[in-house]
Every structure is written in C-alpha cells, then in structure tokens.
Structure 1
Amino acid sequence: MEASDVLDLYRACERDGVTIWIDGGWCVDALLGEQTREHGDLDVAVRRGDAVRLREILTGMGYLADPKPDDTDWNYVVRRADAAAVDVHVFEHDAEGTVTYGIAYPAQSLTGTGIIAGEKVNCIATQWMFTFKTAYPPAPKDLADVRALAARFGFDVPDTHR
C-alpha cells in the first residue's frame, strides 16, 4: 500500500462527503509526518452511517472483499488485484459519545490529524494511537511504530515493547 493509494482513497471519500480516519501503521506515519516503513495495508475508521458508501467507493476503486473467518460487518478487509488492501473499522457513537456499535473508538480518539506525502489527513489522536499500539503483543513492525511515537512525542515505552 503506497502513500498515493492512501491519498487516492482519502480524496475520493472527501469528494463524496465520507469522513474516514487513518489508523494503524499509516496513522503512525501520518502523526510522524513521514513514511517510516512499508505498509501491507491501510486501516481506516468510518462511522456506521458512512460504511455502505465507503464500501461503494472502495468497490469503484477496484477493491473487492477478501473474506476471513473472523470478518464482521464492523471489521473486514478489501483487496485489489495488485494486493493493496484496506482494513475497514466501522463504529458508531450515541449522542454522548459512547460507542454503541463496532470497533471501540472513544470519541476523543478521533481528533487527530497528520500528514501523508504532504497532505493533511484525519487520523487517530497521538496518545490514543500509542495506547492502541501498546494494547496487544507486538509484531516487529509494532515495536518500531511504538518506539517512533515514543521518541517523537515523549511517551514511555512499556516493558512489553522494549
């Protein structure tokens, strides 16, 4: 998944009035303002009310379902023939900001902005991205992401990610 692929999707969503937030490794790079590693996919968060339209946009861009046994309506992957993949995370909040459906994105986690290839994008807020990245046993790429966020933003790296 290249930066141009990320921005093509981001722009298509903006044109259609669909707000997405960049998550995962691309979010880390957006927060850092530079690409630090290769990315096999793009993780995006989207409101439940925009999920159908996002899927239509993705289909129009050549992304097709890549079914997995643990797929749900709120978390699934789509893939293009060239192997570019998007991992879609759907959520919904009530009027008070409490998660009522899908992926548990606290409302305040959806306040970040970052830069990908010189363009501003919505993404997971820095503190929340660090929290999310340190909440599970790390793969080598996660260790690098956590260390980069810690170095740039002054977070303490937990023992599990040293």
Structure 2
Amino acid sequence: MELDEVRAVLDALVPVGPVWVAGGWGVDALVGRVTRPHRDLDLLVRAEDERAVLAALDGLGYAVETDWRPVRVELVAPGRGWVDVHPLRFDAVGAAVQAGLDGAEFSYPADCFVTGSLAGVEVGCLSVRRQLAFHEGYEPRAVDRHDLALLTDLRGPDVNPGGAPR
C-alpha cells in the first residue's frame, strides 16, 4: 500500500471522526517517514463511527474481504491495498478496549493515543510503548523485527524494554 493511498484514505475519514494509525504505518508515523513497504493500513476507530468509516471506504472503492466483527473488518481495493479497521470502545477518560477473538480484550490506556506524521501531515497513532506491547507474545516476522528496531530506537535510553522509566 503506497503513501498516496494511505493519505487518500485518511483524508476521506476526516469528516467521520478521529482515527489512529497502527501497525507498520503507525510505526512509520512515529518515525515521521516511510521505512518499508506495507501490505495494509491498520486503523483504530471509535466503535460508534464504524458504520460511517466503512461507508467512506466503500466510497473509495474498498469492499469488505474479512468480517470478524466486533474484532476487525478488513477491506480491499484491488491493486491499491487493504485497510484493516479495528473498532474501539472508549470510556469517559479516553481509555479504550478492543474486542479480541475468543472473548479476549485489548486495552488502550488514554495516554497511548498520540500524534505522528506521514508525508509531513500530522496523524493520530499509537505510542511507542503501546506499539511495543502489541509486538509481544508471538514470533516476530522480518517486518516485525524491522519495526521493533525502529521502536527501540525511538524508545530511547531512559526507558526499559517494558516501557517503564528505568
């Protein structure tokens, strides 16, 4: 998925409400530049905005390919890329929860929603600490090792691998 397509998707979602870029594009947003090729764009959206997000993506020519609601919905625009939509339920203080498979839940503390930039445009994304947490518990692929190296560099010397101050 190319940067121009990512920008087109994000621009189309501006009227819908806030979205946050996660996964590989989220790492690139934290770094502030494209660091590798990407198959898809992972987007975190407010659960109440999911219908409007899917309608906006339909308007761009994206069609649902994988529907695992309430966990995620993956859409494809042949020849352009995939968008993986992850709906989140937010509480009154800005923390969120995402449904997982088999009844699991993923927590997002309020302070993990930060900003980065893609092509000089500010975008919502996940913090370094939260991105690192989501890379735990599985055998990393080459793209994961690439992203982890970038996240480790961003984490800096004053933070341990778990993200807590030393």
TM range (shorter): 0.7 to 0.9
Q: How far apart are 1:95 and its partner, in Å?
A: 2.6
* 1:118-153 Cα distance to aligned partner (Å, 9 max, x none): 111000112111211234321110011001111232
Judging changes above 3 Å, is the alpha-carbon distance between structure 1 residues 156 and 135 closer, same or farther for their aligned structure 2 residues? farther
Instruction: State the aligned residue count.
Output: 155
As a proportion of its length, which structure holds more strand?
Answer: 2
Counterpart of 1:81 in structure 2 is: 78
Structure 1, unaligned runs of 5 or more: none
Return the letter of the residue paired with 2:73: Y
1:12-161 matched pairs, under 5 angstroms = 12-14=12-14, 16-67=15-66, 71-97=68-94, 99=96, 102=99, 104-108=106-110, 110-154=112-156
Q: Give me the CA root mean square deviation.
A: 2.1
Aligned-pair identity in percent equals 30
Q: How far apart are 1:34 and its partner, in Å?
A: 0.9
Q: Distance in 2 between matches of 1:24 and 1:101?
A: 15
Counterpart of 2:6 in structure 1 is: 6
Contact preservation (8 Å) 1:93, 1:101: no
Return the letter of the residue paired with 2:4: S
Structure 2, unaligned runs of 5 or more: 101-105
TM-score by length of 1: 0.85
Return the letter of the residue paired with 1:112: V
Contact preservation (8 Å) 2:64, 2:75: yes
Judging changes above 3 Å, is the alpha-carbon distance between structure 1 residues 99 and 151 closer, same or farther for their aligned structure 2 residues? closer
Q: Distance in 2 between matches of 1:65 and 1:44?
A: 14
Structure 1 segments, 4+ long, off by >6 Å, are none
TM-score by length of 2: 0.83
Return the letter of the residue paired with 2:147: D
